Amino acid sequence: MTYNTYASLLLQGLLGDYLRHTICPKHPHNGSPLAVPEPLELTQTVVVRGVWVLEKDEQGIVTVVKLQMRIALARCPVCKRRFRILPADILPYKHYSLAVIEHSVHLYNQGYLSLRAVVWDGFYGEYAPSHTTLHAWSEGLGAYWSGRCFGEVAYALPASRIVAELEIRIPEIAPLHSIPVLVNPQRCRSLQRRERLEACRRFEKICMMISWCFCELNRLIVSWGTSFGFGFRTGITSTPFERINSADMIPCAKPMRKEAAACPIRGRSPPGDLK
């Protein structure tokens, strides 16, 4: 289900049918069909959450609009914890829907648009994402799909598990994980940034090759019934265990944060230069 059908299902009382096989993410379960824990139960409590979704106006222009959604809460019958039940196109800890994230990441992965050009020319309206948000999405999605633990969020399925599950259900998808991708070298100043951009683009190519969008992939993961879908972290400020040298360590075994190298300043042309 998406946000378009979520409200109607909630009003009709049919939202609980989607929780028949969804178990508590904090309950230890190894996937065995024996002794399966009880599924989550839908409660009568709702919370209001703002979300920015992608829509087209009467002229067919892509616009980002803000909606106020009523989100239902589910309760675990064992541990009594409560969780928010989100539509498949809205991720936890994300204000923007998956359609907005996919549209911006797709434009940026083409290689000829900068961060600012994507958000300025690819969206209309006052709620368009900023270029720093798009940078954080590419960083977090790339770190998540490359298997980095610092790119994961709570209750989300790790990328390695998704790859294994997809290869079991769709054997022809196995070669897609090693497909070569090209990244504009002017977009990255470090090897770590380039690796995350390559992983971000590879994730998009896999979804396109199997005729899925980000929302459809998340819907498939949720249908497995053992997780709340995939999710990636944004706002990654450092990657302390990526290629750390002993010279970069202080006595307390914590990585030292070096000041980023400044860009070379281009001065005026030499007096004898006529160009």
The tens digit of pLDDT for each residue in 68-122 reads 999 999 888 888 888 888 888 898 889 999 999 999 999 998 888 888 888 888 8
Asked whether the beta carbons of 212 and 162 are under 8 A apart, the reply is: no
What are the start-end ranges of the E strands in 112-252?
none
- Whole-number pLDDT of residue 164: 86
Mean pLDDT of 153-169: 85
DSSP string for 206-217? HHHHTT--HHHH
Is 12 exposed, middle or buried (CB count within 10 Å of its CB: 0-12, 13-18, 19+)? exposed
Spatial contact of 48 and 178, defined as CB atoms under 8 Å apart: no
Going by pLDDT thresholds of 50, 70 and 90, the confidence category of residue 256 is: very low
Identify whether the C-beta of residue 209 lies closer than 8 Å to the C-beta of residue 176: yes
Cβ atoms 122, 104 nearer than 8 A: yes
Least confident of 51-55, 67-71, 142-146, 204-208: 204-208
Task: Give the separation between CA 131 and CA 127, rounded to whole angstroms.
Answer: 12
pLDDT: is 27 or 232 the higher one? 232
**pLDDT for the residue numbered 270:** 42
Identify the pLDDT of residue 266.
40
Residues 125, 126, 132, 137, CA torsion sign: negative
- In angstroms, the CA 27 to CA 38 distance is 10
Q: What is the DSSP letter of 182?
A: -
Secondary structure of 105-138 as H, E, C letters: HHHHHCCCCCHHHHHHHCCECCCCCCHHHHHHHH
Copy the structure tokens of residue 15: 């939202």
State the pLDDT at residue 248.
39
According to the model, what pLDDT value does residue 226 have? 59
Predicted local confidence at residue 96, as pLDDT: 93
pLDDT at 155 over 70: yes
pLDDT exceeds cutoff 70 at 150: yes
Rounded to an integer, what distance in angstroms lies between the CA atom of residue 232 and that of residue 16? 26
Put residue 224 in one of left, alpha, beta given phi > 0 → left and psi -120 to 50 → alpha. alpha
- Per residue, the 3-state secondary structure of 65-107, as one string, reads EEEEEEEEEEECCCCCCEEEECCCCCCCCCCECHHHHHHHHHH
Pair of tokens at residue 60: 């067919």
pLDDT in the model for residue 27: 67
SS3 47: strand
Q: What mean pLDDT value characterizes the chain? A: 77
Q: What is the pLDDT confidence band of residue 52, given thresholds at 50, 70 and 90?
A: very high
Per-residue tokens: 149 = 């633990």
